[in-house]
Structure 1
Amino acid sequence: MTLKQLKAFLILARSLNYAHASNELCISQSALSISIKTLEEELGGKLFKRNTRRVEMTPEGESLIPYAKKLLANWDDMEKDLKQRFQLKRGTLNIASMPFATHAVLPEILHKFSKQYPNIHFSIHDVPNEKIIEKIQEGIFEIGICFKPDNIEHLNFQPLFQEDFIALLPVHHPLAQNTTVTWKELLSFPFVTLQNPSIVRQIVETKAAENDITLDLKLECHQISSLAHFVALDLGVSAIPRRFEKMIQPNQHVLREISDADVHLQFGILYKKDLQLSNISAQFLDMITEYYR
């Protein structure tokens, strides 16, 4: 059974006239007769009763009409839906994004993407950096936005920029009087940072070990935005990725360069090798790559 057969069946069922139906279909009457006969053979019985004077529906033919209409309507809906998706006139962009990227990177990109493709919707899933590789490998998400993982076997990583860290201080903190601070100076005070697993937390702990300092972990949380609020209330100091500075309230915090800041993390897009990205994900990848080029 083909869509052409169903369409021919419905037009003949409506007109009950082979000449009219064949004209509407732009085929010969013999071709229409063959199409209907083939459909009848596949279904196992007559759909029309035909004599020299007129064409009539059989009861079985009558029962086929609603099914045929539904099948053709579903096909038309599917065709329209896919065409709109390929043209980015509809669809949802699903992204696994580490929380830092959700706050500090994605807003501008999604604003730009939305202006170009206004009918696209977005679903952003905050996922710890260390979990994004797992979600991509499992096929739960097509693309992830994160710092470059150590192990990217079977994955592609498209770098966007290098990220370093800056010191985040309460307004009246003693270190706020300095033009720069060192990691050792910063880590000597009660500290506010992210919970494990977190690449930010790993950097902080690594720097504490390198400077032979026992970290005085005053408070740990999940989001840098939350971390900033606690620093503003003088619960401790912190170190944050540089691009998050635009999210910091200057009247509530002081940002200082870390003079021995030798941390440079690659930030970018992660996706599976040998995976044909959906059109919407491929277009987003092109846009964000061009944005940071």
Structure 2
Amino acid sequence: MQPSIRQLKAFVAVAEYGSFIEASERLHLSQPALSIAIRKLEESVGGMLFNRSPRGIQLTPEGRYFLPIARRLISDWDEALGDIGELFNKERGKVTLAALPTLAAGFLPAVLADYRRQYPNIAINVHDVLANQVDELVRDQRADIGFSVKPSGAEAIHFESLVDDHFVAVCPHGHPLLNQDEVKWEELIAYPVIALSRLSSTRQAIDEVLQHLDAEMDVMCEVSQIGTAGRMVAAGQGVAALPSLSFKQISSEGLEWRPLTHPTVPRTLGIITPARSLQSAAATAMLEVVRKHALTLNPLEIQ
């Protein structure tokens, strides 16, 4: 039978105080209970740890050898309990997030600022990546929480909707399309388009719309970052179709927008979590903060 932490503490107390009476008082144990704990410990290790004589109690050579080991085991036990307690109380820990750049730049900063105010000792890592990478990081449990579009056919992850975004036509100041209250997709793609990479979920959604319309866009330039697309539009190099939430994250200087319609395409964004594993206390607290801020996550309103 393996020694218990109670038995180890009893052994150390008797060794330090040299008395069963004083050790029992310090440990708030009766003397019979303390004696039983020491006897069972000695049975576990296979020999006597104390010499008991009329002159008092002394450690045997084996007891002197075992004393620093017992102290270390007790210290490791107390430290382990303290560590797990801090994790449950959100006094330490780590949360890893994976998010579309749209949400990483346009939504998470306020969330993380709020979270840090409440839990300043929890480390936070953020991966701003493409949608398929968000899914992969969460599925492989390399990220605790993902923020992305709804995954397709991923049984290992769970999706919780946060908001329905929509596409807007982004144009430079003075562009003819800005004379309208709304812009049809076919009207937008009549002009040279600054397009996002085909690997992005935004571009894939746009391609689906164009396939539905049996139309093609005149791609003036293809870029990887939404911010780059915005700057090129502002410089008069073309127009762009962007999710309205992403328009909030880029500089609006030199830019204006109009709702894209016919069709109006909703783009559901939400939380992705592992489907079959429990979240840590730190990640659960993050989800609570995210859901609170999601109530204020409003796309640009369609006029």
Q: What are the residue-to-residue correspondences of 1:173-184 with 2, within 5 Å?
A: 173-184=175-186
> Partners of 2:67 and 2:231 in 1: how far apart?
65
Provide the residue aligned with 1:246 in structure 2: 248
CA gap 1:218/1:60 in 2 versus in 1, 3 angstroms: farther
The corresponding residue for 2:124 is 122
Asked if the contact 2:184–2:261 (Cα under 8 Å) also holds between the matched residues in 1, the reply is yes
Identity percentage of aligned residues:
32
Greater Cα shift, 17-26 or 191-200:
191-200
Quick check: 1:205–1:215 contact (8 Å CA) kept in 2? Answer: no
Take 1:76 and 1:218, find their aligned partners in 2: how far apart are those partners? 64
Distance 2:173 2:7 in 1: 76
Report the counterpart of residue 64 of structure 1 in structure 2.
66
1:264 — aligned with what? 266
Q: Distance in 1 between matches of 2:196 and 2:15?
A: 69
Change (3 A) 1:71 1:206: same
After superposition, the C-alpha distances for 1:142-179 in whole angstroms (9 at most, x for unaligned) are: 32111112224353321111010112223454544544
Alignment check: 8 A CA contact 1:142 1:277 kept: yes
Q: Is the 8 A contact 2:95 2:144 kept in 1?
A: no
What SS class does the counterpart of residue 122 from structure 1 fall into? strand
Q: Which moved more, 1:81-90 or 1:219-228?
A: 219-228
One-letter amino acid matched to 1:151: G
Residues 216-260 of structure 1 show CA distances to partners (whole Å, capped at 9, x for unaligned) of: 333333332333233333343222111122223222322222233
Corresponding residue to 1:286 among 278, 285, 288:
288
Q: Is the 8 A contact 1:193 1:200 kept in 2?
A: no
Count of matched residue positions in the alignment of Structure 1 and Structure 2: 293
Q: 1:196 to 1:31 in 2, by over 3 A?
A: same
CA contact 1:157–1:268 (8 Å) conserved in 2: yes
Structure-1-length-normalised TM-score: 0.89
Q: CA RMSD in A?
A: 2.3
Which residue in the other structure is 2:87 paired with?
85
Distance in 2 (alpha carbons) for counterparts of 1:260 and 1:138: 39
Query: 3-state SS of the aligned residue for 2:270?
Result: strand
C-alpha offsets along residues 153-208 of structure 1, whole Å, 9 cap, x if unaligned? Answer: 35332111101011222345454454432212222333223323221011222233
8 Å CA contact retained: 1:168, 1:238: yes
Please state how far the C-alpha of 1:26 moved relative to its aligned partner. Answer: 1.3
Name the CA distance, whole Å, in 2 between partners of 1:225 and 1:74.
51
Q: Distance in 1 between matches of 2:189 and 2:114?
A: 39
| Shift, 1:4, TM fit | 0.9
Give the residue type in structure 2 aligned to 1:123: N
Report the CA distance shift for 1:35/1:203 in structure 2 as closer, same or farther (over 3 A): same
Is residue 145 from structure 1 mapped to residue 166 from structure 2 by the alignment?
no
Give 2:279's aligned residue: 277
Q: Is the 8 A contact 1:156 1:272 kept in 2?
A: yes
Structure 2 residue identity aligned to 1:10: V
Pick aligned residue for 1:111 from 103, 110, 113 = 113
Listed as ranges, the gaps of 5+ residues in structure 2 are 296-303
Residues 166-245 of structure 1 correspond to what in structure 2 (within 5 A)?
Answer: 166-171=168-173, 173-245=175-247
Q: Could you tell which deviates more after superposition, 128-137 or 93-102?
A: 128-137
Q: Deviations along 1:33-61, whole A, 9 cap, x unmatched?
A: 22122212212232222211122222322
Q: Distance in 2 between matches of 1:234 and 1:65?
A: 79
2:170 aligned counterpart, secondary structure: strand
Map of 2:104 onto structure 1:
102
The normalised TM-score by structure 2 is 0.86
- Residue 44 of structure 1 pairs with residue 67 of structure 2: no
Asked if the contact 1:165–1:261 (Cα under 8 Å) also holds between the matched residues in 2, the reply is no
Change (3 A) 1:212 1:261: closer
In structure 1, stretches of 5+ residues that fail to align are none
Query: What secondary structure sits across from 1:125 in the alignment?
Result: strand
> Map of 1:13-52 to 2, 5 A cutoff?
13-52=15-54
